[in-house]
Structure 1
Amino acid sequence: MLANALSLAALAGAAMASPCKPSPTTSAPSYSTVPSPSSTAIAPGEPFGLMALRSASPIHFAQFGAALSSVFLNLPSQNATCDDGENPTTADYATFTLSEEGELYLYRQSATPQQLFVDRSGMGQGKLGYTTGAQPGPRNGERTAFSLDDYNDLSFNGAGFLACPNSIDGAWSVWVDAGVSSPGGNSDCLGLSARAVKIAGAANSCVYTQ
């Protein structure tokens, strides 16, 4: 599980989120063996996980997963193919990297990259997805405005994220907040902070389903 692989120091930093963002009010889960990193800052190209912060909600501390060219919370199985021979069903969270140019990728040590995009057009309504290799994104897809702030909260061109329930396998679909409260015809969507958290130990290097 991601909870056993992420940095406790970074997780504890969730409680320091600014007042305008969702911040945890519940106690953090206990951890058995969690190495402490020398710094919580995440360097360009360094792999990290993402977890949702939305106090008193079903998605608080939920893991970000990737499958079928989309991004989800609490996805039971990504069916990703990982380099280390790990059973794909046990790679139950996605690993990301962020370039200096603001490009967000799914972490892969080699081979074809998988890159995130956002479609904030009237059709896309904040769609968050990824393409593989030379696969074209949507006509209005944007790729180069992701950033991490001082709390390691991810944003896209200054915008936060939404999660909407009742997606595949009971997961929540993740969208960029494009000013639409119910994107894609969904309902009961929740705003959230997407906290980037360092990976303790070897990061999952995977290819995610298209």
Structure 2
Amino acid sequence: MKFTTTAALASTLALASAAACPKPDAAAQSAPYPSTPDAVNIFRLNALITTGPYQQNATIQAYKGGLGINVKQNASCADANSNYISLFVDKTNGNLGVYSDYPPITAYVDRSGMGQGLLRFSTGVAPPLPKNAERGPWKITKDLDLVFAPTNGENGLQACTSDGGKTFSVWLRGVNPAGGYKECYPFVGQVLPVPENLLNKCAYNDFGTN
């Protein structure tokens, strides 16, 4: 089956609003979703995996200090039945943040030979970064895909598994397989904007200071 980002995004948005979020009111249902990167504020992230034996379009969760796929996140959310992380890209500095209460939770990556594309989050106001780590910038593309976008080139995301595709850890592309995993597959990180009346704030328990 041939996947397209546009078709998958449209179908996923419909399913996400109907199944994983509280029922919206009529006004919210009739309002259009943001269609340009600058219009996106809070969003969910989906992994569109179209290569390899584990093709799927799956919601991304907070997991063990980073991001995971097909896992149960350790969080307490306004919507107790939800199982997804809510994110935003800071429009002033390009940092990738988590929609949550204070203190802030912000992503960092390590693209060095040691880090191999590690993606993690730290908590606090300007906490010190580990050696070789970078905050950003991140970017939402015109197709509403999330990429890491420093001046020396964009990096997409990949899903790495050691249990035959049952669960995945999210890494930057570059080293494959990364981080001691057996298999990694590139995927499109689809940005799914969340309407203001459906925002789902969570307290995440797996994010440390670095």
Normalised by the shorter chain, which TM-score bucket? 0.7 to 0.9
Given the alignment of the two structures, is residue 68 of structure 1 paired with residue 64 of structure 2, yes or no? yes
CA contact (8 A) 2:44 2:193 kept: yes
Once residues 183 and 170 of structure 2 are traced to their aligned partners in structure 1, the CA distance between those partners, rounded to angstroms, is 13
TM superposition shift of 1:146: 0.5
Percent identity (aligned): 28
Q: In the alignment, which residue of structure 2 is the partner of 1:93? A: 84
RMSD: 2.8
The residue correspondences of 1:52-201 to structure 2 (distance < 5 A) are: 52-55=47-50, 58=54, 60-75=56-71, 77-82=72-77, 84=78, 86-87=79-80, 90-100=81-91, 101-108=93-100, 110-134=101-125, 135-157=127-149, 158-166=154-162, 170-177=166-173, 179-200=174-195, 201=197
Once residues 59 and 96 of structure 1 are traced to their aligned partners in structure 2, the CA distance between those partners, rounded to angstroms, is 24
CA contact (8 A) 1:161 1:174 kept: yes
1:152 partner amino acid:
L
What is the aligned length? Answer: 182
TM superposition shift of 1:59: 5.0
CA contact (8 A) 1:44 1:97 kept: no
- CA distance 1:36–1:68, shift in 2 (3 Å): farther
Q: Which runs of 5+ in 2 are unaligned?
A: none
1:195 partner amino acid:
Q
Secondary structure of 2:35's aligned partner: coil
- CA distance 1:195–1:116, shift in 2 (3 Å): same
CA contact (8 A) 1:73 1:172 kept: yes
Q: Alpha-carbon deviations, 1:90-117, whole Å to 9, x = none?
A: 3311000101121000112x31110011
Once residues 30 and 70 of structure 2 are traced to their aligned partners in structure 1, the CA distance between those partners, rounded to angstroms, is 25
- CA distance 1:149–1:45, shift in 2 (3 Å): closer
- Taking structure 2 as the reference length, the TM-score comes to 0.75
Once residues 160 and 144 of structure 1 are traced to their aligned partners in structure 2, the CA distance between those partners, rounded to angstroms, is 13
- Taking structure 1 as the reference length, the TM-score comes to 0.75
- CA distance 1:182–1:113, shift in 2 (3 Å): same
Q: Which runs of 5+ in 1 are unaligned?
A: 1-11, 17-23
